[in-house]
Structure 1
């Protein structure tokens, strides 16, 4: 579902925008002695064949954007409500019209700040710039002292 544009400040962003939220992250520890093998496993998971297999058995469970939407094959094995969504997500990612939900990557205090200020931002008591400046400071402070997921 597209994220609504609530303020004029966002007018220059590509439209519509989508937010991805994920409850888990897949990654490889940089100190792993088998990092290359782990990468092969991840590469194997994110293929059209695997997505088609999941889509046929558990529609919506492996709804990941891939470089190629694989639209015809996906629609042949899964309900259109899922296939259309998966194809749409692939197009959104290809076009750069997405962001990530904060709960995927933010440490606790930074996430709490987002939750506590969201209404103030929407209702105009705090500007987006003010919120992001405070969030950046909180995140930087917390990052220096708390383990958070790393992004490569």
Structure 2
């Protein structure tokens, strides 16, 4: 399975159906490297045949734009609505990834999203995991969807 393409297809499907927004793929990074410039990250744990996490990383302006489009209102600050909206986006993209892996005969369980807000943070662990990060453009802003997993 082409994991990068599965991330692209799954994310585009969520944004098209839920936000009526078409996304542009900017680049795909496989493996280590690439800073994650984000103020808000929502992560969904994966278990069973594929262990790892799917994360949506956004600068605050993009997170507010996504939330405003999702809710149909202007969003001026990072609040509970933003945390919930980015968490729901991550959850829906993880659901699409679950379906993609199921087509490959892999059963995945997904956890409840966890959202982190801050200026500078990093995640660690999962030594030897496969990592794929897709950078998307939406309304002139950039955000990333990252899948880090062990199968």
TM-score bracket, shorter-length normalisation: under 0.3
TM, length-normalised to structure 2: 0.25
Higher RCO (Cα < 8 Å, 6 or more apart): 2
The structure carrying a bigger helix percent of its residues is: 1
